[in-house]
Amino acid sequence: MSDSKNFPVSKSEADWKKLLKPDEFHILREKGTELPFSGKYNNHFEKGVYKCKGCSAPLYRSENKFDSHCGWPSYDMAIPGAIEYIKDSSHGMQRIEIVCAQCGGHQGHVFNDGPTLTGKRYCVNSASIKFIEENKF
């Protein structure tokens, strides 16, 4: 990633490539995105925690997940302090990128169009997270 911020979990590009599958590397380190409706967590609603695929930091709780019908896993909030917010004006749009506060791994974007009381929709790539069942964390 080209961001100049130093995150607590820092690895070389070569080390990230060893740790992550090619699609995970593309999303987490190169700010890519997966095709809508293709990610394994889009229609996943078990109880537990979703952690960063890069560093295992807890990012989202299952009780904050909802079906947004947008094609990507959506949450109405992140675990406090787990996410950093970066202005993103790429692709001719004004958006807020969300990255893991521990490793800087790209998660997706947050929008102000969520249907819950928070009014937020954290639109996340499945390849950037891993799920841990409630009784296993």
| pLDDT tens digits in sequence order for the chain, 137 residues long | 344 578 999 999 999 999 999 999 999 999 999 999 999 999 999 999 999 999 999 999 999 999 999 999 999 999 999 999 999 988 888 999 999 999 999 999 999 999 999 999 999 999 999 999 987 65
User: Is 52 designated active site?
Assistant: no
CATH superfamily of 13-136: Peptide methionine sulfoxide reductase. (2.170.150.20)
For the record, the structure tokens of 101 come out as 């506060």
Spatial separation of the C-alpha atoms in residues 118 and 22, rounded to whole Å = 34
Q: What is the pTM of this model?
A: 0.92
Residue with tokens 């070569």, as numbered in its chain: 14
Stated as kind and residue range, the H or E segment containing 19 is helix 13-19
C-alpha 71/C-alpha 43 separation (Å) is 9
Computed over its alpha carbons, how large is the radius of gyration of the chain?
Answer: 14
